[in-house]
Structure 1
Amino acid sequence: MKVYDYSFLKSDRISNNVLSLLVSIEKIQAVGIINSEMYPKVFSNLENISKRQSVKASNAINGIFATDRRIESLIDKDIDPANQGEEKIIGYSDVIDEIFTNYDSLQFNEYIIRDFHKTLLVHTGINSGGSYKDNDVIFTENLQDGTRRVILNPVSYQNTNEAMEALVKAYKIAIEDSTIPRLLLIPCVIFDFLCIHPFNEGNGRISRLLSSLLLFRNEYDVGKFVSFEKQIYNYKSEYYESIRLCSINWDDNSNDYNPFIQNFLESLYSCYIELNSRFRIIDNEKKSKKIRIEETIKKSWNPISRKEIHLVWPDISHETIKKVIKSLLNEQKIKKIGNFKDARYKRNWYGKTTQNEDNMVIF
């Protein structure tokens, strides 16, 4: 029988890779705090971008897709949802808004978890929102040789109430223990939530929302400015493989949490790297608008739109951004992806180099 107890995080069962990531995150977090004090307006705009990217990425992980323009209109309530997928997108947006705004007052307990789930599905007409599951399911995948293997065998619906109560209680005990690193505790709790799989649907999305809640409450709030969910989506196969590996022997308490902890911390560390790379000042000089635009594109891990550049640097006009991007394209420093209003831009690794390139951080 599964026992929810995180005291093992004080032992030597944690891998060296995980411990190294833990140290790296603690170091880089301080740089983010300094940047937020230096660029408050920029951080405010990054928060808006992160929310929208998180809504898109977390739903895409579960096969729910919509264009950037449509997601933006759905979030802003400018259009009505056209299908159930878009209704779920609105629900996710509503929950993430609540977390971003009120995380300090939102406790990790069954009421909040069920309320998140109810909000997630409230626009869909599905009447099971906020209710624990009433049937069992086993998650499998097809292998290349034609066989199938189990990825996750969740807790039975008959034991869900008891499991969720034990999970919340174990977290409350562990969070009060100062000898347990919170960045090790949070992914373990999230993984156990996934193994319980308390709802008929939406468990993956709820797990990522709870990840944000617990990270924010424990002062790891980089996900407010760079989408944590987008980092997971970028390496979705590794994410699912870490779940599969950690679930082996989970129900008899002999599983290894390290693969999921490492995947979780790698995603978090990527957020810090991307955030801090946007604010690296070369030789302490004030950068021109062109250099800021160029470096924002080059240092973004994912293709970025003109509108997102303007949100990062609101003092730069849309017309200036348009002109600079045209110049950078002509100089072969960046590449264009897509057309018209949906176009995005990324670094052209095979184009010309610049004098400042040696001073830049490449990720």
Structure 2
Amino acid sequence: MHIFDYSFLDNGLLPAALTNLTANIYALRSASGLRREANPKIFTELEQVARVQSVKSSNAIEGIITSDERIAAIVNQSSAPLNHDEAEIAGYRDALNTIHTNFKDLDFRQADILSLHAQLLAFSGNDDGGKYKQNDNLILEIDSAGKRRIRFRPVPAQETAEAMEQLELAYMEARGNANINQLLLIPCVILDFLCIHPFRDGNGRMSRLLSLLLLYKKGFLAGKYISFEEQINLYQQLYYTALQESSRGWHENTSDYAPFMKNFLSMLYMCYKELDKRFAILHGKKVTKKARIEATLENSLTPLSKRDICAILPDVSPTTVEAVLGAMVKAGKIRRVGQGRATRYIRT
């Protein structure tokens, strides 16, 4: 069985890139904390947008998709789920809301993890909610010729409960070590959770929920206001490559956490940078509406829909947004991605 040991984080021999990345994140966290205290209304607006994007993106990574209109209706609880995919979306909404509102009372302990998993699958009619897997599972991939191969063998079902207990205890021990940078510890714990793969269904979504929980508990709240899940969704290939690299040799205790740590922290850093930009836009409302729309698109790291822009700038009419979008496309400042309701805009 894999030995859960995070003492390597205490030896100070981490790559300089990780050290610099964490230093930048800590600086951005401090700045955003001061802004949040001084501008609660702006951060409330940002949180409302981020919740919708988080629910949409985390499910989209697993191929669970519906229209933006239905996502918004489900997240805002103005409509009940109408099919299986929407039931999955509603489950993520509730689990995410639990973390947003109760993260101080929750912890990385098995009881809370199982409870969140039960919430995640509550609407789907799946009896596996809140229970560890009863049968062994495999992580497969399909090559260009359509041939399947095993990418990773998670912990066997009969060893899962013990592995989760060891993971919980190892995290608690490392969390109490003042010499361990807690921000570096979190992605290591999430990688180990993914390698255990403790559930029959919902492991990926649970890993993202637990990422937010652990980040929030340590004061890294960017994911409340800029969707962490959306960053992963936009750069899925980089995420899965890092996951594959870091899981190689995991069972033999020869794996390298660094690739996954770097990817995880890069996604968090991008959230903080995006938060910095969106705050500047919302805070600078004395600027003309046209300039604010242009700045929103030019500063965004991710494609935005007209609906996204209207949510970020609620005092700007959809007609004005549409007119500015058309002018910016014509001028070559932005380009369209997708068609119809899926249309998004990104800087060129």
Taking structure 2 as the reference length, the TM-score comes to 0.91
Q: Do residues 101 (structure 1) and 101 (structure 2) align?
A: yes
Contact 1:42 / 1:311 at 8 angstroms: preserved in 2?
A: no
Contact 1:42 / 1:313 at 8 angstroms: preserved in 2?
A: no
Shift of 1:205: 0.5
Contact 1:186 / 1:215 at 8 angstroms: preserved in 2?
A: yes
Q: Secondary structure at the match of 1:151?
A: strand
What corresponds to 2:29 in structure 1?
A: 29
What corresponds to 2:9 in structure 1?
A: 9
* Deviations 1:208-229 (CA, angstroms, capped at 9, x unpaired): 0000010011000100111111
Shift of 1:148: 5.6
What corresponds to 1:161 in structure 2?
A: 161
Q: How does 1:265-304 map to 2 (within 5 A)?
A: 265-280=265-280, 286-304=286-304
Contact 2:42 / 2:279 at 8 angstroms: preserved in 1?
A: no
- Alpha carbons of structure 1 residues 239 and 285: separation in structure 2 relative to 1, 3 Å: closer
With 263-272 and 327-336 compared, the bigger mean Cα shift is at: 327-336
Residue identity in the other structure for 1:237: Q
Residue identity in the other structure for 2:28: I
What corresponds to 1:305 in structure 2?
A: 305
Shift of 1:300: 1.4
Residue identity in the other structure for 2:176: E
What corresponds to 2:174 in structure 1?
A: 174
Q: How does 1:1-363 map to 2 (within 5 A)?
A: 1-144=1-144, 149-280=149-280, 286-329=286-329, 331-337=331-337, 343-347=343-347, 349=348
Gaps of 5+ in 2: none
- Alpha carbons of structure 1 residues 237 and 331: separation in structure 2 relative to 1, 3 Å: closer
Shift of 1:4: 1.4
Mapped to 2, the partners of 1:197 and 1:155 lie a distance apart of: 7
Contact 2:138 / 2:153 at 8 angstroms: preserved in 1?
A: yes
Residue identity in the other structure for 2:141: E
Shift of 1:151: 2.5
Residue identity in the other structure for 2:197: H
- Alpha carbons of structure 1 residues 102 and 334: separation in structure 2 relative to 1, 3 Å: same
Mapped to 2, the partners of 1:340 and 1:190 lie a distance apart of: 37
Residue identity in the other structure for 2:82: A
Q: Percent identity?
A: 42
* Deviations 1:137-169 (CA, angstroms, capped at 9, x unpaired): 221323458876542211111111111111111
Mapped to 2, the partners of 1:230 and 1:84 lie a distance apart of: 22
Mapped to 1, the partners of 2:149 and 2:108 lie a distance apart of: 33
Q: Secondary structure at the match of 2:345?
A: strand
With 50-59 and 331-340 compared, the bigger mean Cα shift is at: 331-340
Contact 2:305 / 2:343 at 8 angstroms: preserved in 1?
A: yes
Mapped to 2, the partners of 1:131 and 1:253 lie a distance apart of: 27
Contact 2:234 / 2:302 at 8 angstroms: preserved in 1?
A: no
- Alpha carbons of structure 1 residues 342 and 156: separation in structure 2 relative to 1, 3 Å: closer
Number of matched pairs: 346
Mapped to 2, the partners of 1:63 and 1:314 lie a distance apart of: 30
RMSD between superposed Cα atoms in Å:
2.4
